[in-house]
C-alpha cells in the first residue's frame, strides 16, 4: 500500500484529492456513529454510550477519528475560499465530537498530545522571515491553555458534572490502581516482559503474542478477558513480534517521517501546516498506541501519512514534469490503473466478498438451529468452512459453542449429536496439526470432549490427552485445572477432581471465581472440611461477585441442602440487589423454609427489578396462595 500510494500520488493536488476522499468517508462513518448515539442504529460493542461506527469497536473508531481530525485541520489551513474553511472547520469539530462519543481514553489523550505539539512546534520552528510574529504569541497562549486545561479538569474530576458524563468520567477515573490499569501492568511487565527476555533480538514473530500470553500467563488475570492477542502497548507488541531490531525499525519509520517533514519545510517544499499537523498526528497516533493496539484502519492511515512524508521532496517539481511528459504520463497511468483494477477485483473477492459470504452462511447455520435438523446445521457450517477465509476460526468457534450446548438438548437423537461433534472434532484436530501450541483450541477440545463423553465414554481419554497438553503449554492457568476437574468428575473420581481444583485455587486464592469452583467440587465430593473453608473464603472476598455465590448456592440446591442454599442466596441478593433471577430463587427458598411473608416480599422485588419476570412472579405468588410447590 505504501509503495502504491507514493507512486500514484505525487503532487499537492493529488494528495488533496485523496485527503478529501478520506475525510468524506470519515464524515459518513461519523454520521453512522451519531445515529448509533441516538439509538437509530445499533452499536456492536459500545451501545449508545460508546459509539463504534462501522468499525465494530469504539477504540478503532477513535483512532481513525484522530487521522480525520488531522486531515480536516490541514485542509482548513490550505483552503483559500472561506466556504471551504467553514466546511473543513465544521468537519474538524465533527471529528472531535465523534472521538468524544467513543469515550476512548487512549485516543483522547493522544489528541491532547497532538494538539499540544502543534503550538509547541510553531513556537520553536514556525514563522519564516517576513511572517507575522504575532502568530507565535497566539501559539504560545494556546500551548499554555492546553497545559492548564488538564490541570483544571483534574481539580474538578470528582464533581457530579464530570462523574455523570460517560466520557468525562472515564477520563477522570484513570488511576494506576484501577482494574484495567492493573491488568495492563500485569500484561506488560509480568507476561510480555518474560516473553521478551526469552527472545529479545528477533522476537516471536507476527501475531504470536497469544503464545507468550499462554506460556507466561499470570493467575491474577483470571477476572480479566480470558484471551489477549495483543499487549495493548505498541512498544511491547513490537518487542514481542520482532524483538529489539523490529522495534528500532518501527521507531525508525517515525524518525524518518519527522526528518522528511523537517526537510520539506526547511526547503520550502511544504508549509508549516503540512509538516506540523502531520507530525502532531503521528505523535497522537503513537501516544494512543501506548495503551491500545493497532487495527487495519489506523494502519492504513498511518502509512498514508508516511507515504505523504516520503513524497515531500518531490513537491514543487510536479508542474514541470507534467508539461514535459504529459502523454507518456497519461499512458502510464492508464496501464497502472488497469492492472490495479484487476488486482483490486481479485483482492476484493478474497478479502471482502468471500468472508462476507462466509459470515452469511454462519448466520444461516445459527438460524437453522431452530429447525431441529442437526444435519442441516452441520451442512451450513461445513459450507461456511468451504470458503476457507480468515473467518474459519470464527466458524469453528460458533460451531463449537453449539456442539457443547447440543449435548444437553433432550429432543435431538444421540447419533445426530455425535455426528455433529465428530465433524467439528475432525476439523479442529486437523487445525491443531499446524498450531499444536494453540492453548485456546486445546482447551476448547478438552471441554468439547468432556461434554461428548456424556454421550460416548470413548471421548474421555481424548479429553485427557488435550488437557495434559494444555497443562504443559500453560501450567499457571486456572482454567486448565478446572477442565481437568471436570474430567475427573466424569469418571466419578472426586478426590482427584478436588486436588485439580485446589491447584487452580492455590495459584490465586484471592479471587471469587476459584473459591466458588472449589466450593462446588467439594460439595459434590462430600468433603465438608474443604467445603466450609471455601464457602467462608468466598463470602469474605471483597469486592464479591454475586454470580459466584449463586453458583455455590445452586450446587447446594442440586444436592438437596436447602438450608445452606438459603444462606448463599441471601448473600447473593445482598451483594447484587439488581439480580431478579437471584431474588426469585431466594424467594422460593424462603417459602420452603417457612418464611412465607418474606418470600412474597422478595418475589415482588424481583418483578420490580426486572418487569420481564412479572409472569414468573405472578405464577410463584399463585402457587403460594394455592398451598405451595
In order, the DSSP letters of 40-108 are SS--SSSTTTS--TTTTSHHHHHHHHHHHHHHHHHHHHH--SHHHHHHHHHHHHHHHHHHHHHT-HHHH
Which pLDDT value is given to residue 309? Answer: 95
Does the residue 214 lie in any domain? no
CA neighbours closer than 13 Å in the CB half-sphere of residue 237: 20
Which pLDDT value is given to residue 476? Answer: 96
Does the residue 492 lie in any domain? no
- The interaxial angle of helices 439-452 and 459-473, nearest 10 deg, is 160
Q: Give me 513's grid cell.
A: 471465581
Contacts of 288 (CB under 8 A, 6+ apart): 62, 63, 66, 106, 107, 109, 110
Q: How many domains does the chain have?
A: 1
* DSSP letter, residue 370: G
Does the residue 51 lie in any domain? yes
CA neighbours closer than 13 Å in the CB half-sphere of residue 397: 8
Q: Tell me how far the alpha carbon of residue 598 is from its chain's centroid.
A: 43
* DSSP letter, residue 581: H
Which pLDDT value is given to residue 330? Answer: 54
Contacts of 13 (CB under 8 A, 6+ apart): 318
Q: Give the SS3 label for residue 510.
A: coil
Q: How far apart are CA 521 and CA 519, in angstroms?
A: 6
Which pLDDT value is given to residue 281? Answer: 97
Using only C-alpha atoms, the chain has a radius of gyration, in whole angstroms, of: 30
List alpha helices for 311-413, DSSP H: 318-324, 326-348, 354-367, 374-386, 392-406
Low-confidence spans in the chain with pLDDT less than 50:
130, 318-320, 322-325
The pTM of this model reads 0.84
CA-based nearest residue to 501, from 458, 550, 523: 523
**Which residues constitute the domain of residue 114?**
2-121+132-177+247-315
Which pLDDT value is given to residue 323? Answer: 44
Does the residue 212 lie in any domain? no
Q: Give me 140's grid cell.
A: 504560545
Does the residue 164 lie in any domain? yes
Q: Are 119 and 142 in contact (CB under 8 A)?
A: yes
List alpha helices for 437-579, DSSP H: 439-452, 459-473, 478-490, 494-507, 512-525, 528-540, 546-558, 562-575
Which pLDDT value is given to residue 189? Answer: 94
The enclosing H or E element of 240 equals helix 234-266
Which pLDDT value is given to residue 325? Answer: 45
Amino acid at each position: 500500500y505504501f509503495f502504491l500510494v507514493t507512486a500514484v500520488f505525487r503532487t499537492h493536488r493529488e494528495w488533496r484529492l485523496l485527503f478529501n476522499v478520506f475525510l468524506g468517508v470519515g464524515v459518513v462513518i461519523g454520521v453512522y456513529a451519531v445515529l448509533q448515539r441516538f439509538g437509530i442504529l445499533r452499536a456492536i460493542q459500545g451501545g449508545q454510550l460508546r459509539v463504534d461506527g462501522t468499525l465494530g469497536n469504539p477504540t478503532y473508531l477513535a483512532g481513525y477519528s484522530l487521522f480525520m481530525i488531522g486531515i480536516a485541520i490541514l485542509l482548513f489551513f490550505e483552503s483559500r475560499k472561506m466556504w471551504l474553511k467553514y466546511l473543513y472547520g465544521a468537519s474538524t469539530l465533527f471529528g472531535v465530537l465523534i472521538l468524544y462519543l467513543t469515550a476512548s481514553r487512549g485516543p483522547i489523550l493522544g489528541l491532547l498530545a497532538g494538539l499540544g505539539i502543534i503550538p509547541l512546534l510553531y513556537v520553536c520552528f514556525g514563522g519564516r522571515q517576513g511572517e507575522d510574529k504575532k502568530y507565535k504569541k497566539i501559539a504560545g497562549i494556546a500551548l499554555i491553555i492546553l497545559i492548564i486545561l488538564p490541570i483544571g479538569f483534574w481539580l474538578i474530576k470528582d464533581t457530579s458534572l464530570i462523574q455523570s458524563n460517560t466520557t468525562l468520567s472515564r477520563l477522570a477515573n484513570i488511576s494506576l490502581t484501577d482494574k484495567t490499569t492493573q491488568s495492563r501492568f500485569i500484561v506488560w511487565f509480568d507476561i510480555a516482559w518474560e516473553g521478551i527476555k526469552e527472545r529479545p533480538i528477533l522476537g516471536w514473530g507476527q501475531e504470536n503474542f497469544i503464545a507468550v500470553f499462554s506460556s507466561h500467563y499470570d493467575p491474577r488475570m483470571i477476572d480479566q478477558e480470558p484471551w489477549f492477542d495483543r499487549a495493548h502497548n505498541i512498544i511491547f507488541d513490537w518487542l514481542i513480534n520482532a524483538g529489539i531490531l523490529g522495534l528500532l525499525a518501527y521507531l525508525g519509520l517515525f524518525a524518518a517521517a519527522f526528518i522528511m517533514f523537517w526537510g520539506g519545510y526547511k526547503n520550502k517544499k511544504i508549509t508549516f501546516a503540512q509538516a506540523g499537523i502531520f507530525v502532531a498526528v503521528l505523535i497522537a497516533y503513537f501516544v494512543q498506541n501506548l495503551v491500545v493496539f493497532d487495527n487495519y484502519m489506523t494502519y492504513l492511515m498511518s502509512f498514508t501519512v508516511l507515504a505523504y512524508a516520503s513524497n515531500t521532496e518531490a513537491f514543487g517539481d510536479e508542474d514541470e514534469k507534467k508539461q514535459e511528459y504529459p502523454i507518456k504520463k497519461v499512458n502510464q497511468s492508464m496501464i497502472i490503473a488497469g492492472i490495479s483494477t484487476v488486482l483490486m477485483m481479485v483482492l476484493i473477492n478474497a478479502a471482502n466478498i468471500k468472508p462476507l459470504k462466509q459470515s452469511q452462511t454462519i448466520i444461516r447455520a445459527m438460524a437453522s438451529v431452530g429447525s431441529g435438523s442437526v444435519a442441516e446445521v452441520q451442512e451450513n457450517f461445513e459450507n461456511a468452512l468451504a470458503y476457507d477465509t480468515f473467518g474459519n476460526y470464527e466458524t469453528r468457534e460458533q460451531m463449537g459453542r453449539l456442539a457443547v450446548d447440543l449435548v444437553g438438548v433432550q429432543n435431538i437423537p444421540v447419533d445426530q449429536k455425535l455426528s455433529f461433534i465428530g465433524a467439528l472434532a475432525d476439523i479442529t484436530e486437523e487445525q491443531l496439526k499446524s498450531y499444536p501450541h494453540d492453548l485456546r483450541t486445546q482447551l476448547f477440545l478438552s471441554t468439547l470432549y468432556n461434554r461428548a463423553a456424556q454421550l460416548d465414554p470413548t471421548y474421555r481419554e481424548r479429553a485427557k490427552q488435550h488437557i495434559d497438553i494444555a497443562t504443559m503449554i500453560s501450567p499457571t492457568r486456572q482454567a486448565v485445572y478446572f477442565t481437568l476437574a471436570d474430567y475427573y468428575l466424569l469418571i466419578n473420581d472426586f478426590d482427584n477432581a478436588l486436588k485439580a481444583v485446589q491447584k487452580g485455587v492455590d495459584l490465586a486464592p484471592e479471587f471469587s471465581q476459584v473459591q466458588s469452583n472449589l466450593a462446588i467440587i467439594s460439595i459434590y465430593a462430600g468433603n465438608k472440611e474443604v467445603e466450609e473453608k471455601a464457602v467462608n473464603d468466598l463470602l469474605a472476598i471483597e469486592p464479591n461477585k454475586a454470580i459466584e455465590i449463586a453458583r455455590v448456592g445452586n450446587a447446594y440446591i442440586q444436592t438437596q441442602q436447602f438450608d445452606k442454599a438459603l444462606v448463599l442466596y441471601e448473600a447473593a441478593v445482598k451483594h447484587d440487589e439488581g439480580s431478579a433471577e437471584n431474588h426469585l430463587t431466594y424467594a422460593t427458598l424462603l417459602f420452603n423454609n417457612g418464611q412465607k411473608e418474606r418470600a412474597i416480599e422478595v418475589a415482588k422485588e424481583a418483578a420490580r427489578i426486572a418487569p420481564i419476570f412479572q409472569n414468573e412472579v405472578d405464577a410463584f405468588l399463585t402457587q403460594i396462595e394455592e398451598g405451595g410447590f
